[in-house]
Amino acid sequence: MKRRMESDLPKDALRTIQEGTVAFTYRGVLCQKNPFDLALYSRLLFETGARSIVEIGSSAGGSALWFADTLRCYGRNPRIVSVDVNPVSGVNDPDVTFAQGTALALGEVLPESFLRELPRPWIVVEDSAHTYEVTRAVLRFFDPWLEVGEYAVVEDGIVNDLEGAEYRAFENGPNRAIFEHLDDRPGRYEIDSHYCDYFGHNFTWNTNGWLRRI
């Protein structure tokens, strides 16, 4: 039976957490994450022993900075690669590489020779357009690269729970893409309820989106 995709967080709480999330800053840089997901990522990064984070969707670069600081805090030598259609300026970190390109053609910006050099384990974070098409493209691109025990985190399935035309416009893209990707690749991924449900059923903006390669 398929997992429910909805979050059990009350609608009023979703709205106010979303308002805070989109304005949240880390070290003065916009970092659009909420306390649930910062806590869950801090555990995921520690528990997996992650060395590389490949993030699709940089925005201002605050999340890439947070990933780098967190992994350094754990004594790792991190490699953070963050791709966006728009350039990132004003964030300079020796362990973070920002690359400009589209999620729909990741091979152009992340060539094989570059990816092969990234230390394992990896965490892939899809946090770009949140449409069905883009989410599917990102999951497809990384499928042959992900090794057992690594994760692809699909962000912002919560758009389906948030009220308002701007969220309906995503047409439940992340959740639809997740289920189709899992159906297409039986036995290769599991939705990791340890992270999805740590604080309550889908008390995360990445509803059903913590995908473990098995």
Ligand X SMILES: C[S@@+](CC[C@H](N)C(=O)[O-])C[C@H]1O[C@@H](n2cnc3c(N)ncnc32)[C@H](O)[C@@H]1O
Of the pair 128, 175, the CB lying nearest ligand X is at 128
How many residues line the site for ligand X (CB under 6 A)? 22
Return the ∠ at Cα 192 (arms to 179 and 184), rounded to 5°.
Answer: 30
* Footprint of ligand X on 39-78 (CB under 6 A): 55-59, 62-63
102 lines the binding site for ligand X (CB under 6 A): yes
* Footprint of ligand X on 5-44 (CB under 6 A): 30-33
Smallest separation, CB 43 to ligand X (Å): 17
Instruction: Tell me the pairing of strands 25-26 and 122-126.
Output: unpaired
* Footprint of ligand X on 137-176 (CB under 6 A): none
Cα(first)–Cα(last) distance of the chain, in Å? 19
Q: Could you say which of 53, 91, 103, 153 contacts ligand X (CB under 6 A)?
A: 103
CA distances from 126 to 8, 9, 75, 94 (A): 23, 22, 25, 22
Q: Could you say which of 65, 68, 123, 129 contacts ligand X (CB under 6 A)?
A: 129
Which stretch of DSSP H or E encloses residue 26?
Answer: strand 25-26
Smallest separation, CB 50 to ligand X (Å): 16
Q: Where are the alpha helices (DSSP H) in 127-199?
A: 132-142, 165-168, 173-184, 193-196
Binding site for ligand X (CB under 6 A): 30-33, 55-59, 62-63, 83-86, 102-104, 127-129, 134
